[in-house]
């Protein structure tokens, strides 16, 4: 099934069920007022939401046109947002291009940071940022939303905790990252609010593209209307089951926690890139210096996962704008 949160002036939006073709939406408030409420009582709400989804697709319930411009992030705020770097090709390109030291045990222990989860952006929201000089970048990713996960959960156990799949733009400020990393505490200002495609889907919605807890779909990315890349999610070196288990090594994960894949990246370069930093790394390796600039105010990025069966999550389509200064 496909679920979304429509903006209603509240912090968590209003839960709707969205048709398979993303054209219609049915109000789900009689089942759960918000997606986080549905997730926190998933055993009870999921069968009822699934039944509503089937009725919606059959045209048997009242519905309204689904407008992604009215959608918030599926979870406008989440208990936790943990983002990995599960495509090792991306890290290897960055290390080769910019002379970065090798990361210990990167082949066996996933990289992960904890981002801000209190202000997640919708698919068509402008991305307000303070300064172009910060090196504004996008990062196309996939993610999962989990049920409650116990501490020390194994990867095998984690598979049964995956409730929903999402598509993400993990906005990054590249000029700020090196300074923060050198201080030893990791990212903070370099990772502002992330954006999400309008619809969260259950894994069965992508059929055979859900393989080994990986989203094996192309993620088509355009920058200012020009093709930038369409890498496929199948080349994750760590599956989402392994990422969940890693995140739960020393803590429980609350229902609604989002785990991200990190930048989708494919070896060989034929499918382009899912972020500007990776393209700059490829340019530096090939020609000695990067050529593609980071984003400026007014620039637009569009991301959409593609399936032979039709639309999946809907598109992220948003502009970078200067942040409004507080009065």
pTM: 0.97
Local confidence band at 178 (pLDDT 50, 70, 90 cut-offs): confident
State pLDDT tens for residues 224-266: 999 999 999 999 999 999 999 999 999 999 999 999 999 999 9
Local confidence band at 183 (pLDDT 50, 70, 90 cut-offs): confident
* The token pair that represents 199 in the structure block: 């619809």
Strands (E), 24-75: 24-27, 64-65
State pLDDT tens for residues 302-324: 999 988 878 999 999 999 999 99
Ramachandran assignment for 317, one of left (phi > 0), alpha (psi -120 to 50 degrees), beta (any other) = beta
CB 202 within 8 A of CB 185: no
Say whether pLDDT at 327 is over 80.
Answer: no
Indicate the class that CATH gives domain 73-322.
Answer: alpha beta
The residue-averaged pLDDT of 276-303 equals 97
Least trusted range by pLDDT, from 134-138, 157-161, 179-183, 263-267: 179-183
Distance (Å, whole) CA 73 – CA 199: 8
Distance (Å, whole) CA 35 – CA 263: 26
Query: Which is more confidently placed, 100 or 96?
Result: 96
State pLDDT tens for residues 105-140: 989 999 999 999 999 999 999 999 999 999 999 999
Q: Among 296, 305, 253, which residue's Cα sits nearest to residue 276? A: 296
DSSP 41: T
Q: Where in the chain is the domain with CATH 3.90.850.10?
A: 73-322
Give the distance between the most distant pair of CA atoms in the chain: 60
* The token pair that represents 158 in the structure block: 């984690």
The residue-averaged pLDDT of 44-61 equals 98
Say whether pLDDT at 176 is over 80.
Answer: yes
């Amino acid at each position: 099934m496909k679920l979304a949160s429509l903006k209603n002036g509240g912090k968590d939006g209003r839960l709707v069920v969205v048709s398979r073709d993303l054209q219609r939406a049915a109000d789900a408030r009689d089942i759960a007022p918000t997606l986080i409420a549905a997730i926190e009582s998933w055993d009870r709400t999921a069968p009822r939401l699934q039944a509503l989804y089937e009725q919606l697709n059959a045209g048997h319930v009242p519905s309204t046109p689904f407008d992604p411009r009215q959608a918030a992030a599926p979870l406008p705020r989440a208990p936790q947002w943990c983002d990995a770097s599960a495509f090792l090709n991306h890290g290897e390109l960055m290390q080769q291009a910019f002379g970065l030291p090798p990361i210990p045990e990167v082949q066996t222990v996933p990289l992960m940071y904890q981002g801000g989860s209190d202000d997640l952006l919708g698919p068509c929201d402008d991305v307000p940022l303070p300064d172009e000089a910060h090196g504004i970048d996008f990062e196309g990713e996939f993610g999962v939303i989990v049920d409650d996960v116990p501490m020390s959960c194994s990867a095998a156990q984690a598979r049964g905790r995956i409730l929903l799949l999402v598509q993400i733009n993990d906005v990054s400020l590249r000029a700020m990252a090196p300074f923060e990393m050198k201080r030893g505490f990791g990212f903070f200002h370099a990772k502002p609010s992330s954006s999400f495609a309008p619809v969260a889907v259950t894994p069965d919605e992508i059929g055979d593209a859900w393989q080994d807890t990986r989203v094996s779909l192309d993620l088509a990315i355009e920058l200012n209307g020009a093709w930038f890349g369409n890498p496929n999610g199948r080349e994750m070196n760590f599956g989402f089951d392994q990422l969940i288990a890693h995140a739960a090594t020393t803590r429980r994960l609350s229902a609604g926690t989002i785990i991200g894949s990190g930048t989708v990246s494919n070896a060989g370069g034929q499918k382009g890139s899912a972020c500007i930093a990776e393209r700059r790394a490829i340019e530096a390796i090939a020609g000695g210096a990067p050529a593609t600039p980071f984003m400026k105010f007014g620039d637009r990025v569009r991301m959409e996962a593609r399936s032979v069966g039709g639309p999946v999550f809907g598109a992220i389509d948003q502009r970078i704008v200067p942040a409004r200064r507080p009065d």
